[in-house]
Amino acid sequence: MTQSVLIVDDEFGLADITAELLTEAGYDVALAINGKLGLASLATRRADIVITDLMMPVMDGPELIRRIRADPKLAQIRTILMTALPEAVPTGDAAMHDAVLVKPFSFVELLATIHRLLPPA
């Protein structure tokens, strides 16, 4: 079964390009522009992994991940938090993500991180 990815980012450009590259790499990719819309997408469409930006309007990345973890139907989804500001990544108990990607990152780094969390089928 094709593995599916949800990319959540408010920023123009990066999300679209990442989505294209992941589609070419064989993933089934969906996009959302904030955490709230990301959750809405998960309600109707399965995802094996969520790659989310940290700072976003309406609902930010850490809050989206917290809600995923709190929902038994979603809790098993692997999560990657991406940010240009590693200092702002939640630590300790607040850190519910599986991995962090510091922007700017290469596609190779992104794929390696995805493969680590979700071995290719």
When binding is defined by CB under 8 A, the residue of 24, 57, 71, 120 that contacts other proteins is 57
* The only residue of 13, 72, 92, 119 in contact with other proteins, by rule CB under 8 A: 13
* Contacts with 31 (C-beta within 8 Å, 6 or more apart), sequence order: 6, 7, 8, 9, 15, 16, 19
Report, in Å, the least distance between residue 81 CB and other proteins: 11
Which range, of 10-18, 21-29, 39-47, 110-118, touches other proteins by CB under 8 A? 10-18
Please state the closest distance from residue 97 (CB atom) to other proteins, in A. 14
Run of H or E residues at 114: helix 107-117
42: tokens are 């998960």
Establish if 20 lies at the interface with other proteins (CB under 8 A): no
Give me the amino acid identity at 24: E
45 with 15: CB under 8 angstroms? no
Q: Could you say whether residue 85 binds other proteins (CB under 8 A)? A: yes
Q: Does 64 bind other proteins (CB under 8 A)?
A: no
